[in-house]
Structure 1
Amino acid sequence: LEPSVERFKLYYQGCHAGGMVLRLAKDIAENNCGARVLAVCADSIAIAFRGPIETQLDSLVGPALFGDGAGAVIIGADPDESIERPIFQLVWASQTTVPNTEDAILAPLREVGMPVRLRKGIHELLLSNTFENILDKAFCQVNIDDWNSIFWIVHPGGPRILNEAEAKLELMEDKLLSSRYVLSEFGNMISASVLFILDEMRNRSLNQGKETTGEGLDWGVLLAFGPGLTIETILLHSVPINN
């Protein structure tokens, strides 16, 4: 990269960082005419591995779910259709913190590394009324309240979070297939997970002969969860696939 390229480095953000990076890249691109933003997410979980402690068995959950991963996307506004082929459009983005959940996910830096501590019932905290309010706020802009009429990019925090989200929102079983595939093949890759899921959905849509990159649907949502508890939400619009 040229020395004049502007760089922004974000560290120690957690699992919602993938959504946060996309939101910030969107803002930068839309406020700088002609800008193209290279957004890179990379995490290595080696620092969180350590031997089991009988009094802290919950510390084993994180290393069992997490995996190393890295992904990158280019974000821009007003694409040059002669040379650029958009995959998804980021229409609207927000960040929300769930009240009284500061200690739900802890990952303090210590001499032994970065032990991850997870409070019981995280899925219940994430999928509280705050969660549904976020979805309502995002989709009231496009008059959608049928959650099975959209496509889903959900950070795979773990199988239970995906299962509970599917049940709470009464989603059809195929709605979270891309998230489940990435979790089963690569684990929870912290910030990079949602980028892998976007790519998996794009490829799945292409291979199945769908009309759009969003499994043939027009509208979708990206959700990333992390410490705070923090929820990143991005309203997505798919792009037609030219077979």
Structure 2
Amino acid sequence: MTTAHIHRIATAVPPNDVHRPFVEFAETMLPEGTTRSLFRRMARMSAIEHRYSFVEPVENGDKTWRDREELYVAGAFPTTARRMEVFEKFAPRLAGNALDRLALSEEERRGVTHVIVTSCTGLYAPGLDFDIVRHLGLSTSVERTMIGFMGCYAAINALKAAHYIVRSEPRAKVLVMNLELCTLHLQETEDIEQLLSFLLFADGCAACLIGAEPQGLAIDSFLAVNLPQTSGLITWKIRDGGFDMHLSGQVPTEIKRRLKGVSREVTRGREIADVNLWAVHPGGRTVLDAVEHAMELPEDALRFSRSVLGRFGNMSSATVMFVLADVLAQAQSGQLGCAMSFGPGVTAETMLFHAS
């Protein structure tokens, strides 16, 4: 039976490192005193050093927040329509950067048969799928699939779709893109839990090429694990003032409690020690800690995930692909790996793979 392989992965982020400016801006939405002090402490403990955004902060002499798009103005945060206008302006630019870094040859471009795009932070039509076809000069007969609004685990579902395409059409070449502008959906609020969730998120894009040639990371199998009675812990709703996220502080606790009982299912019966490469979506430091404890992983097992979290933050569906890019760069032939990403449900989408 044909096995699909992730041949290579390219990643891109916008030029603006906004982690510190966003932390300072978010502080201004909270009342001074205990709440603001707690927020500062939690921000310091996030294990995030850098997050990148299309939003370009402008230096002000009075140290108040201002961005070049004048998107986030105190007391007048943008409507959903305005946010979607900005997505349509900046998403194709970020997509182009990732595609250029993927560096497809002319022969590879001619060989692309399918394009799959995931995004939960914006949409327009004709959309990113058409932008990709135009940017690369692909055949107009390329088959296009958009996977929308699935959240952080959408990349695993895109890989699953590519896997089935290559198995059914061994000559197929699938281009997968995961693009998110998470900082487009900052909300004006005094809810500290909501502000802390915003300070995890960043913008990013990953593009990868998948085919049957035995090179790169071979995709072995998939398993979705739904955590019972957790459907209200992660939600993503379209409202008049943008996309409204709820990310409960209970998520790490529930992952730690419920994932422990299904660890052998996740590894398909293999011993944890047999899995050399872990690519867990860094939904936050506490999420990674929860997975490490629930699965009883070695101390350095999540080094790739923790590195991506520190360097880029949480870029929703693109993030696990950033982790897999680091894994691919260091993997040795024959090593077994497990990818895992969490999202609404709460569901863990998992994928076993091995290095060719």
Q: Fold match, TM over 0.5?
A: yes
Matches within 5 A, 1:1-243: 1-53=138-190, 56-77=191-212, 79=213, 86-130=215-259, 132-133=261-262, 135-140=263-268, 144-147=270-273, 149-203=275-329, 205=330, 213=331, 218-239=335-356
TM normalised by structure 2 equals 0.58
Structure 1 residue 45: deviation in Å?
1.1
The question of whether the paired residues in 2 share the 8 Å contact of 1:16 and 1:226 is answered with yes
Q: Write the letter of the residue equivalent to 1:109.
A: I
TM normalised by structure 1 equals 0.83
Structure 1 residue 121: deviation in Å?
1.4
Structure 1 residue 217: deviation in Å?
6.2
Structure 1 residue 169: deviation in Å?
2.6
Structure 1 residue 186: deviation in Å?
0.5
Tell me, in whole angstroms, the C-alpha distance in 2 between the residues paired with 1:45 and 1:8.
Answer: 21
Query: What runs of 5+ residues in structure 2 fail to find an aligned partner?
Result: 1-137
Q: Write the letter of the residue equivalent to 1:167.
A: H
Structure 1 residue 8: deviation in Å?
0.3
The question of whether the paired residues in 2 share the 8 Å contact of 1:30 and 1:76 is answered with no
SS in 1 for 2:239: coil
Structure 1 residue 115: deviation in Å?
2.3
Q: Which moved more, 1:230-239 or 1:167-176?
A: 167-176
Structure 1 residue 103: deviation in Å?
1.0
Structure 1 residue 113: deviation in Å?
1.0
Tell me, in whole angstroms, the C-alpha distance in 2 between the residues paired with 1:31 and 1:128.
Answer: 38
| 1:124-181 CA-partner distances (Å, limit 9, x unpaired) | 2223345542x4234346xx21347421000000000111222233322211111001
Query: What's the C-alpha RMSD, in Å, of the aligned pairs?
Result: 1.9
Tell me, in whole angstroms, the C-alpha distance in 2 between the residues paired with 1:201 and 1:233.
Answer: 16
Tell me, in whole angstroms, the C-alpha distance in 1 between the residues paired with 2:350 and 2:205.
Answer: 21
Summarize the Cα distance change of 1:52–1:18 in structure 2 as closer, same or farther, 3 Å threshold.
Answer: same
Q: Write the letter of the residue equivalent to 1:97.
A: N
Structure 1 residue 40: deviation in Å?
0.6
Bigger RCO of structures 1 and 2 (CA < 8 A, at least 6 apart): 1
Q: Which moved more, 1:147-156 or 1:219-228?
A: 147-156
SS in 2 for 1:35: coil
SS in 2 for 1:225: strand
Tell me, in whole angstroms, the C-alpha distance in 2 between the residues paired with 1:108 and 1:191.
Answer: 16
Structure 1 residue 232: deviation in Å?
0.8
Tell me, in whole angstroms, the C-alpha distance in 2 between the residues paired with 1:128 and 1:91.
Answer: 27
The question of whether the paired residues in 2 share the 8 Å contact of 1:59 and 1:115 is answered with no
Tell me, in whole angstroms, the C-alpha distance in 1 between the residues paired with 2:199 and 2:152.
Answer: 15
How many corresponding residue pairs?
Answer: 219
Structure 1 residue 95: deviation in Å?
2.0
The question of whether the paired residues in 1 share the 8 Å contact of 2:256 and 2:293 is answered with no
Instruction: Flag the structure with larger Rg.
Output: 2
The question of whether the paired residues in 2 share the 8 Å contact of 1:149 and 1:217 is answered with no
**Equivalent pairs: percent with the same residue?**
30
Tell me, in whole angstroms, the C-alpha distance in 1 between the residues paired with 2:189 and 2:153.
Answer: 26
The question of whether the paired residues in 2 share the 8 Å contact of 1:147 and 1:169 is answered with no
Summarize the Cα distance change of 1:131–1:48 in structure 2 as closer, same or farther, 3 Å threshold.
Answer: farther
